[in-house]
């Protein structure tokens, strides 16, 4: 079946640094990808919708200047957490739709010290 | 009140038991998804429903659009079924975005 990959799977960084997370659709093209964040014991929360060749659409309360999204090709979207702080520590998941099925990446666990 | 409510929040069962997880939603939807999230975090899409019933192996999902309710059943449960099961709906008019329930943590004991 279709596969969505993420890299890295986990990252530890110091406060104030920027972290880039890649999301790739491995065997299909995705004009739209979704970025979610999940805190422990909580459900997934949509952060933004990434659109190939155009600006991402951010959910209310998500700072677009802090969470930079680039969807430069039909198979790659990147999420950059700029000037990361400990409260940004979370599990970040991307997703893409093929047909009627939504495929999720394996997630990236971010820990900001 | 959340748009998507799941029950129970936690469920422990003995191997072999029949399991039911419920999902109620309060908005009009175009589709409902059942997802499985393993301890490592990876999410697998189990079903997408817009009406009726679907079956895949030991898993059965049903939906009643009029009552805004869906159930996920697992027959002959096994410890490897232990995971978080998440109900997610696509609200009508929302092109592709999903609204997620808080999940049901299932533990199947050997």
Yes or no, beta carbons of B41 and A49 under 8 Å apart: no
Residue B96 has pLDDT above 70, yes or no: no
In terms of Cα–Cα distance, which of B11, B15, B3, B14 is closest to B87? Answer: B3
Span B46-58, average pLDDT: 94
pLDDT band at B93 (very low <50, low <70, confident <90, very high): confident
**A91 contacts on B by Cβ (under 8 Å):** 41
- The reply to whether B69 touches chain A by the CB within 8 Å rule is no
Which among B41, B61, B104 is the top mutation candidate for probing chain A, defined by the most A β-carbons within 10 Å of its own β-carbon? Answer: B41
pLDDT band at B95 (very low <50, low <70, confident <90, very high): low
Contact A86, A65 (CB under 8 A): no
Residue B30: CB atoms within 10 A of its CB come to 13
Q: What is the pLDDT of chain B when averaged over all its residues?
A: 93
Chain B segment 23-42 residues within 8 A of A by beta carbon are 31, 33, 35, 40-42
Give average pLDDT by consecutive 10-residue segment, chain A, 113 residues.
Answer: 87 96 92 92 90 89 94 92 96 89 91 96
Span B69-90, average pLDDT: 96
Residue B75 has pLDDT above 90, yes or no: yes
């Amino acid at each position: 079946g279709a596969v969505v990959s993420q890299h890295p799977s986990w990252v530890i960084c110091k406060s104030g640094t920027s972290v880039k997370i890649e999301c790739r659709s491995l065997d299909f093209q995705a004009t739209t990808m979704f970025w979610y964040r999940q805190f422990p014991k909580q459900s997934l929360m949509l952060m933004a919708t990434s659109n190939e060749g155009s600006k991402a659409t951010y959910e209310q309360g998500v700072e677009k200047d802090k969470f930079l999204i680039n969807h430069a090709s039909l198979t790659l979207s990147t999420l950059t957490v700029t000037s990361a702080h400990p409260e940004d520590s979370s599990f970040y998941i991307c997703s893409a739709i093929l047909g009627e099925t939504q495929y999720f990446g394996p997630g990236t666990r971010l820990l900001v010290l | 009140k959340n748009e998507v409510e799941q029950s129970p929040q936690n469920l422990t069962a003995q191997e072999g038991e029949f399991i039911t997880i419920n999902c109620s939603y309060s908005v009009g939807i175009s589709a409902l998804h059942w997802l499985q999230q393993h301890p490592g975090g990876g999410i697998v899409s189990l079903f997408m429903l817009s009406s009726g019933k679907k079956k895949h192996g030991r898993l059965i999902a049903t939906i009643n659009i009029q009552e805004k309710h869906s159930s996920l059943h697992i027959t002959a449960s096994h410890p490897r079924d232990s995971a978080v099961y998440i109900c997610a709906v696509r609200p009508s008019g929302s092109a592709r975005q999903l609204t997620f329930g808080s999940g049901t943590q299932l533990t199947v004991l050997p």
